[in-house]
Amino acid sequence: MRVVTDIPHPEIKITLFAWNGKYLLKLELGPFEQTYKVSEMDVDGGDGEIKRWIDEAFLQSCIELFLAMRTNWNETRRRNEY
C-alpha cells in the first residue's frame, strides 16, 4: 500500500492510499476510522478527482458518522460493563 497524499483538515486526518488497483480514502478522528474504496478504473481524473469529491457536505456527513460511531461504542461499553 502506498500513500498518495495527505489531505489537510483541521479536525480529521485524511490520507489517500493506492493499493491493488484501488484508491483508499481513510479518515481518522480520535480512535475511529472510516475507509472508502474506489477502483482506479472508476476515477478518470486520478487522485485529483478524488480530492474534489472531499467537499464540505461529504466531510460534514463523515463527522456526523464519527459522532454516531462514538455513541455506538459508548453505548455498548455501558451495556456490557460489569
Global pTM exceeds 0.85: yes
- The residue ranges of every structural domain in the chain are 2-80
Q: Are 54 and 38 in contact (CB under 8 A)?
A: no
* pLDDT of 16 above 90: yes
Could you tell me the three cell numbers for 10?
A: 483541521
Alpha-carbon distance of 76 to 59, in angstroms, equals: 26
Q: What is the pLDDT of residue 68?
A: 98
Rounded CA separation 58/4 (Å): 20
Q: Please write the tens of the pLDDT for every residue from 25-69.
A: 999 999 999 999 999 999 988 888 999 999 999 999 999 999 999
Whether 11 has a pLDDT exceeding 90, the answer reads yes
Q: What is the pLDDT of residue 47?
A: 83
What is d(CA 2, CA 17) in angstroms, rounded to the nearest whole number?
6
- Cα–Cα distance for residue pair 50/29, rounded to 1 Å: 20
pLDDT of residue 46: 81
